[in-house]
């Protein structure tokens, strides 16, 4: 008799917990999707913040170098503004379009190294489909009812 009661309790717990999880998933599907989207937005904002902090550090280092060496400004101005340097005793190399394209590809590849994780898991996208949500809700409710009707621990003691 005791063994049958433990078995009824085990089946009650299994059926009720699976049914409750299915009901909760069907009801809270929209909230879970919103949560996943917000989490992805936070990750993107943190990555953007890290990029801005690194740019600030680079600019601070450049400003410190400019304070140390005032001639550096004369060397940077033509490159920054895109003007021709006017020093007659210096030869400046010219970059070709192909070389610039290769450098640009390398910089873009370096900037986008981290693959973006999907914002919404695939299983959650499948569950958010309205007909599947209805089936999930009905299946969960059915499992909870089966657990309550057939495997209630009090009903096992009566039989």
Q: Which residues contact 120 (CB under 8 A, 6 or more apart)?
A: 33, 36, 37
Summarize pLDDT for 92-107 with one digit per residue, the tens. Answer: 667 777 877 887 887 7
Give the number of other Cβ atoms within 10 Å of residue 92's Cβ: 9
pTM > 0.75: yes or no? no
Provide DSSP, 15-44.
HHHHHHHHHHHHHSHHHHHHHHHHHHHHHH
Which backbone phi and psi does 96 adopt, to 5 degrees?
A: -90, 165
- pLDDT at residue 156, rounded to an integer: 47
pLDDT tens per residue, range 29-52: 999 999 999 999 999 999 999 999
pLDDT of 158 over the 60 cut: no
In tens, the pLDDT along 115-129 reads 566 788 898 899 889
| 6-30 tens-digit pLDDT | 888 899 999 999 999 999 999 999 9
pLDDT tens digits for range 130-152: 999 999 999 999 999 999 998 87
Lowest mean pLDDT among 34-38, 108-112, 154-158: 154-158
């Amino acid at each position: 008799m005791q063994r049958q009661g433990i078995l009824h309790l085990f089946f009650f717990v299994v059926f009720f917990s699976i049914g409750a999880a299915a009901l909760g998933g069907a009801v809270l599907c929209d909230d879970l999707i919103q949560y996943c989207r917000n989490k992805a937005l936070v990750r993107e904002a943190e990555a953007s913040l890290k990029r801005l902090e690194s740019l600030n550090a680079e600019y601070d280092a450049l400003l410190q170098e400019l304070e140390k060496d005032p001639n550096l400004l004369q060397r940077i101005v033509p490159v920054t503004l895109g003007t021709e340097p006017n020093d007659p005793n210096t030869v400046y190399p010219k970059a070709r379009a192909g070389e610039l394209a290769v450098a640009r590809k390398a910089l873009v590849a370096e900037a986008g190294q981290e693959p973006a994780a999907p914002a919404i898991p695939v299983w959650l996208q499948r569950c958010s489909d309205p007909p599947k949500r209805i089936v999930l809700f009905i299946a969960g409710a059915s499992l909870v009812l089966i657990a309550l009707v057939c495997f209630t621990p009090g009903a096992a003691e009566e039989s």
